[in-house]
């Protein structure tokens, strides 16, 4: 037995790709030209992630507009927006550096994805020699496409949520069909739901329990054997090297979060101040039996917002400490978040997206090496055959 380790999903898009996206939005290049840049970035992402020794890799989401909007639009600027959507929806989040990210607004039914994560994975999976994972967006995030108050004429909230759950289920199933070994569901809005920000009305509506119920509506459509490989990612946001809800106490989130019947959780932790307290909370609230699956807790040992590379020794020590509070057979390691959940991100603290990519691979290599060292120290490698 070893300690499993897995990334969240995204990597910074190379500067050349970010320029190509802007040129595509401006009508200066064709979709085929954009796709050539995306292919190049995916291949580079996979090859370099494999070279870190990581047992499972992703394509760094190089084709996705963002972790949340990939089903809805081709680019973050809104080029190729899906039917029944307008650009001016709710703020998904306002970040500590003052910038914000906005969702589209649903104008009518039916709600359908324009792009499934598998549509992108299909183009990348042949480039990989190692197993691939795929991240998808949670129904709870996309539920914010529907206006916060009132009902759309001819398309009730209940009808929308039913369509949304069908689409999220399809998104996960298609990813497995195309060959993903693991699928993790991005749930960054969970922690933000515990933060009442008057500038962002939905955060004040106590929506966490509703989010958990909605996500379980989708998770419960999968068998226990399938849910072993379906995860949930939680974080306080990670965009332009900034967060949106790092001040929310994990004690407000974790008891509810572990009510979701997922088989594993990718949990931001490296950037927490009092990590041991959070390990204790995880040990207390995660479940050995979540409707037939044990909840494996992958703790964040790498901070993608900080250019300083963690050492393998630091990674090892965190895991050894976490193992005091989390049963070791349900312990794993991860990064705190994707390295660039949104396609357009200059990674200001890193200097440039290309530098941030180099640093990301060094960080992943540290995670992989430190995790193996922790397994050794915890006496888990003895059984290896
Ligand atoms: Zn995240």
Q: Which tens digit of pLDDT belongs to each residue from 192-212?
A: 999 989 999 999 999 999 999
Give the pLDDT mean for 280-301. 98
CB 285 within 8 A of CB 262: no
Is 90 inside a domain boundary? yes
pLDDT recorded at residue 385: 42
CA 367 to chain centre: 17
Is the preceding omega at residue 110 within 30 degrees of 0, hence cis? yes
Q: Does a structural domain hold residue 10?
A: no
Q: How far is the CA of 236 from the centre of ligand 1 (A)?
A: 7
Half-sphere exposure of 358 (CA within 13 A, CB side): 7
CA of 347 to the centre of ligand 1 (A): 15
What is the whole-number distance in angstroms between the Cα of residue 382 and the centre of ligand 1? 34
The answer to whether residue 8 sits within a structural domain is no
Is 3 contained in some domain?
no
Q: Does residue 336 lie in a domain region? A: yes
Q: How many CB atoms lie within 10 A of CB 344?
A: 19
pTM, two decimal places: 0.97
Q: What range does the domain containing 314 cover?
A: 15-380
What is residue 320's predicted lDDT score, i.e. its pLDDT?
98
Say which DSSP state 14 is in: P
In a domain, 331, yes or no: yes
CATH number at residue 53: 3.20.20.210
Q: How far is the CA of 137 from the centre of ligand 1 (A)?
A: 11
User: What's the rounded Cα separation, in Å, for the pair 75 and 236?
Assistant: 23
User: Rounded distance, CA 375 to CA 358, Å?
Assistant: 26
Query: 338: CA distance to ligand 1 center in Å?
Result: 5
pLDDT at 1: 76
The 10s digit of each residue's pLDDT in 127-141 is: 999 999 999 999 999
Q: Ligand 1 centroid to 383 CA: how many Å?
A: 34
* Alpha carbons 336 and 189: distance in angstroms, whole number: 15
Domain-located, residue 385: no
* Within a domain: 6: no
| Confidence band of 172 (pLDDT split at 50, 70, 90) | very high
Helix (H, G, I), strand (E, B) or coil at 231: strand
CB 13 within 8 A of CB 22: no
Section 281-305 average pLDDT: 98
CB neighbours (10 Å) of residue 291? 13
C-alpha pair distances (Å), 321 with each of 275, 277, 327: 9, 11, 11
Which whole-number Å values give the CA distances from 213 to 207, 220, 326, 345, in the listed order? 10, 10, 25, 32
Residue 188 CA to ligand 1 center (angstroms) comes to: 6
- Please report, rounded to a whole number, the percentage of residues in the chain having pLDDT higher than 70: 99
With CA atoms as reference, report the closest residue to 283 among 252, 318, 323, 246: 323
How many distinct structural domains can be found in the chain? Answer: 1
pLDDT at residue 315, as a whole number:
98
pLDDT surpasses 60 at 106: yes
């Amino acid at each position: 037995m070893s300690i499993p380790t897995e990334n969240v999903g995204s990597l910074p898009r190379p500067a050349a790709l970010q320029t190509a996206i802007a040129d595509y939005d401006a009508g200066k290049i064709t979709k085929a030209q954009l796709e050539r840049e995306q292919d190049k970035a995916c291949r580079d992402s996979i090859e370099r992630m494999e070279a870190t020794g990581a047992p499972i890799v992703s394509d760094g989401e190089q084709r996705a507009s963002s972790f949340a909007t990939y089903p809805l639009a081709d680019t973050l600027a809104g080029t190729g927006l899906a039917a029944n959507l307008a650009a001016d929806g709710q703020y998904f989040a306002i970040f500590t550096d003052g910038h914000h990210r906005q969702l589209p607004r649903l104008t009518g039914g039916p709600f359908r994805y324009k792009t499934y994560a598998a549509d992108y994975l299909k183009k990348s999976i042949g480039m990989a020699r190692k197993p691939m994972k795929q991240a998808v967006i949670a129904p709870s995030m996309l539920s914010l496409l529907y206006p916060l108050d009132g009902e759309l004429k001819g398309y009730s909230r209940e009808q929308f949520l039913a369509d949304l759950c069908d689409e999220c289920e399809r998104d996960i199933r298609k990813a497995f069909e195309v060959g993903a070994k693991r699928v993790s569901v991005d749930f960054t809005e969970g922690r933000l739901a515990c933060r009442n920000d008057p500038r962002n009305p939905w955060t004040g509506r106590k929506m966490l329990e509703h989010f958990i119920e909605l996500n379980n509506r989708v998770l419960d459509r999968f068998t226990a054997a399938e849910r072993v490989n379906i995860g949930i990612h939680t974080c306080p946001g990670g965009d332009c090297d900034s967060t949106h809800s790092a001040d929310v106490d994990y004690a407000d989130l974790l008891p509810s979060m572990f009510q979701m019947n997922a088989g594993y959780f990718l949990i931001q932790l490296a950037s927490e101040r009092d990590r041991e307290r959070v390990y204790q909370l995880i040990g207390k609230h995660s479940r050995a039996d979540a409707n037939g699956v044990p909840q494996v807790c992958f703790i964040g040992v790498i901070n993608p917002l900080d250019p300083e590379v963690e050492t393998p020794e630091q990674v090892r020590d965190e895991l050894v400490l976490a193992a005091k509070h989390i049963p070791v057979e349900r312990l794993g390691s991860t990064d705190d978040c994707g390295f660039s959940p949104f396609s357009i991100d200059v990674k200001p603290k890193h200097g440039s997206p290309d530098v941030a990519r180099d640093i990301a691979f060094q960080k992943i290599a540290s995670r992989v090496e430190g995790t193996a060292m922790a397994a050794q120290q915890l006496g888990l490698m003895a059984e290896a055959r």
